[in-house]
Amino acid sequence: MTRAAVLSWLLLVAACGPRAVPRGSIDLTTTAETSGWIRTGRYDEAVRLCRDLARAYPDGARCERYGVTPEGRDQVALVVAAGGALTPEDALAQRRPVILVQAGIHAGEIEGKDAGFVLLRDMLDGKLLPGVLGAITVVFVPVVNPDGHERFGPAHRINQRGPAEMGFRTTAQNLNLNRDYVKVDAPEMAALLELFARWQPVVYVDLHTTDGAKFEHDVAVLVAPLGPRPDGLERTARALSDGLQARLTALGHLPLDFYPSFIDGDDPTSGFATGDAPPRFSQAYAAARDRIGVLVETHSWRTYKERAQAMRDLLIALFERGVTDGTAWQKAVDDAAAAATRLGGTDVVLLSSSNEASRTIDFRGYAYERKPSEISGGIWTVYDETTPQVWKVPLHDTMAPGLTVRAPRGGYLVPAAYAELVAPRLDRHRVRFGRTVEAVRVEDALVFRADSVKFAPGPFEGRTRATISGAWKPEVVTLGPGALWVPIGQPGARLALFMFEPTSSDSLAAWGFFNAVFEQKEYREAYVAEEVAREMLADPAVRTAFESWLAADPDRAKSADERLDFFYRRHPSWDAQKDRLPIVKTDTVPAEMVVP
């Protein structure tokens, strides 16, 4: 083919392919910019900017509709990359690191939306970070919570300086999406996890505005995982954290690498503590999925413009690191996913927390006074923002195991009666499972029987949570057709442990999925209970146990119901299924199981 023919062919391809709308004919400025960073636009502006950026830069941007909210609003994501890596398949084929950035999961904390749009527009224009989009693919969700965004008003966050009006923290169903990652009750979360699963980001970034005291530090950046793991992913996270802290400092910010919430409520002298968060939160969920999670919290007492600038600079620092470290990030998360398949039969530290050890740090605060309040009757803190002050406060950042569980060598089984409750969550998390087609007898089964269950006094995120203590105990179990089989030998093993181990605060049991098993359904009349008790006391062993039980707790011994219940629980008529969770743990792989 001659050079002229090649040129003609390229011109034909260009003519038939997507064509850019002249940049000057599309207004890509945000309300934040036109108002001098006093206001933020409504959600329709976010959708329009997503679509218009894709029209203006068809070779570098694509607007993806990934879901619909309960109130009928489109959930959109802006994909930005050079070199054609605008689909998950193309990014994977090019081994292109994917960074998923989201804003507005709490729709009142919204500067990430405006900062993200402005930064990505300027990058597509070639004004910033030249060449970066040839090395990474950015997936930007401007507003995770569109319905909450449109509950618009001036007073949703009274300790936040700007914008003039903002959205609300929760969804139209009054659910906090940043507590929903494991239980997945909200349609918005189900759609977001589908987006996550398709793109498989190496770094997952969640943009927030923190509440809290008045101080000078303008942004906190928490990178997960924090505590040590056998796969070493925390070392990659720490290197990223150190790099972001250094770059933000060089750009004139006062960053923190921990969440600036006092240990004792409103008392600055109590200092701060670090630790792994449970996976109901975004950055911890990413870590449970063997990815790097980044939580960004600008400080609410800074102006809207200052907060947006901090968001912009954070993203610049992150994208720069993506060019130099993206390949290493990809290898680290691939190694972590592979290591997860080998967790079976080991003790796994799911959460690390700080211990009593602390060190004194210099913290940039303001002069303050703590004094009695004639209104509340308590102590309140009065800050003087005209007088900066360095606080000498303790930071507890020495990690120790917080939650350790024993991973089964085989996996978990869920009876058919609960399968349709559990299976959709496993699907959304891409945790592989199979189903029994005939009855299965498990000789080495472990079942969890609760010794104590304490229910929360009120609903939390639409559910009645349970704090459960107890132990796994051996039993021979037979499960009928339709039971779920969740093998531990898979990349989703770490998240499966969080979901199925009852002592995990984000287990399905803790979220109240199995609360019915803690209810006593069958009863006996008191006069019958009295007769049965007398018959049982004829056994010397029962009499000795009863007398010991009475002596152990004098207050309990005063209750007629509890005294009769002592015998009921030891009688064959007692419901042996009560307090027994519908989860079976086994070290073997049942032969009847086939997992896709």
- DSSP per position, 371-426: EE-TTTSSEEEEEEEEEEEEEEEEEE--EEEEEEEE--SSEEEE-HHHHHHHHHHH
Condensed to tens digits (0 to 9), the pLDDT of residues 416-461 reads: 999 999 999 999 999 999 999 899 999 999 999 999 999 999 999 9
| Chain-centre distance for alpha carbon 408 | 24
Spatial distance between the Cα atoms of 587 and 589, rounded to a whole number of angstroms: 7
If you compute the radius of gyration of the chain from its CA atoms, what whole number of angstroms results?
A: 28
Token representation of residue 563: 């005294």
Q: Tell me the average pLDDT across 571-576.
A: 86
Q: Residue 574 has what pLDDT?
A: 81
Is residue 17 scored above 50 in pLDDT? Answer: no
Is residue 395 within 8 Å of 362, Cβ to Cβ? no
Is residue 322 scored above 70 in pLDDT? Answer: yes
Give percent above pLDDT 90 in the chain. 88
Condensed to tens digits (0 to 9), the pLDDT of residues 469-522 reads: 999 999 999 999 999 999 999 999 999 999 999 999 999 999 999 999 999 988
Is residue 12 scored above 50 in pLDDT? Answer: no
Is residue 555 scored above 90 in pLDDT? Answer: no
3-state secondary structure of 85: coil
* 550 contact partners, CB below 8 Å, separation of at least 6: 557, 563
∠ CA 161-162-164, nearest 5°, is: 135
Q: Tell me the average pLDDT across 461-467.
A: 98
- Name the residue with higher pLDDT: 321 or 575: 321
Q: Tell me the average pLDDT across 375-400.
A: 96
The answer to whether the peptide bond before residue 279 is cis (omega within 30 degrees of 0) is no
∠ CA 364-368-372, nearest 5°, is: 150
CB atoms within 10 A of CB 462: 16
Spatial distance between the Cα atoms of 100 and 90, rounded to a whole number of angstroms: 16
Largest CA distance in the chain: 106
- DSSP per position, 165-221: SB--SS-TT---GGG-TTT--SHHHHHHHHHHHHH--SEEEEEEEE----BS--EEE
The answer to whether the peptide bond before residue 225 is cis (omega within 30 degrees of 0) is yes
User: Roughly what angle, to the nearest 10 degrees, separates helices 540-552 and 560-568?
Assistant: 140
* 175 contact partners, CB below 8 Å, separation of at least 6: 185, 186, 461, 462
Residue 380, strand partner residues: 371
Spatial distance between the Cα atoms of 332 and 328, rounded to a whole number of angstroms: 6
Strand (E) or helix (H) holding 447: strand 440-455
Q: Identify the DSSP state of 463.
A: B
| Chain-centre distance for alpha carbon 164 | 29
Spatial distance between the Cα atoms of 373 and 140, rounded to a whole number of angstroms: 45
3-state secondary structure of 310: helix
Is residue 117 scored above 90 in pLDDT? Answer: yes
Q: Tell me the average pLDDT across 144-153.
A: 98
Is residue 244 scored above 80 in pLDDT? Answer: yes
Condensed to tens digits (0 to 9), the pLDDT of residues 294-317 reads: 999 999 999 999 999 999 999 999
Nearest to 267 by CA among 360, 383, 374, 362: 383
Is residue 594 scored above 80 in pLDDT? Answer: no
Spatial distance between the Cα atoms of 432 and 429, rounded to a whole number of angstroms: 9
Condensed to tens digits (0 to 9), the pLDDT of residues 174-205 reads: 999 999 999 999 999 999 999 999 999 999 99
Note the residue count of the chain.
596
**C-alpha distances in angstroms, 175 versus 179, 360, 374, 559?**
8, 38, 35, 41
Give residue 595's pLDDT band: very low, low, confident or very high (50, 70, 90). low
Is residue 558 scored above 90 in pLDDT? Answer: no
Is residue 15 scored above 60 in pLDDT? Answer: no
**C-alpha distances in angstroms, 126 versus 129, 130, 237?**
7, 6, 29
Q: Domains of the chain, with CATH numbers?
A: 26-267+274-339 (3.40.630.10), 359-395 (no CATH), 409-520+578-586 (no CATH), 526-568 (no CATH)
Which residue shows structure tokens 């689909």? Answer: 87
Q: What are phi and psi of 272, to 5 degrees?
A: -135, 160
Spatial distance between the Cα atoms of 66 and 22, rounded to a whole number of angstroms: 27
Spatial distance between the Cα atoms of 289 and 496, rounded to a whole number of angstroms: 10
Nearest to 584 by CA among 469, 417, 340: 417
pTM metric for this prediction: 0.92
Q: Residue 265 has what pLDDT?
A: 83
Nearest to 447 by CA among 582, 589, 590: 582
Is residue 13 scored above 50 in pLDDT? Answer: no
- DSSP per position, 133-175: GGT-EEEEES-S-HHHHTS-BS-S-TTS---SSB--SS-TT--
Spatial distance between the Cα atoms of 263 and 219, rounded to a whole number of angstroms: 19
Q: Residue 169 has what pLDDT?
A: 98
- SS3 of 26-42: the string is CCCCCHHHHCCCCCCCC
Q: Residue 14 has what pLDDT?
A: 34
Is residue 592 scored above 70 in pLDDT? Answer: no
Q: How does the average pLDDT of the chain come out, rounded? A: 93
Kindly provide the b/e burial profile for residues 191-214, where b requires at least 16 CB atoms within 10 angstroms of the residue's own CB. bbbebbeebbbbbbbbbbbbebbb
Is residue 503 within 8 Å of 469, Cβ to Cβ? yes
Which residue shows structure tokens 């923002």? Answer: 385
Q: Identify the DSSP state of 13.
A: H
Is residue 13 within 8 Å of 19, Cβ to Cβ? no
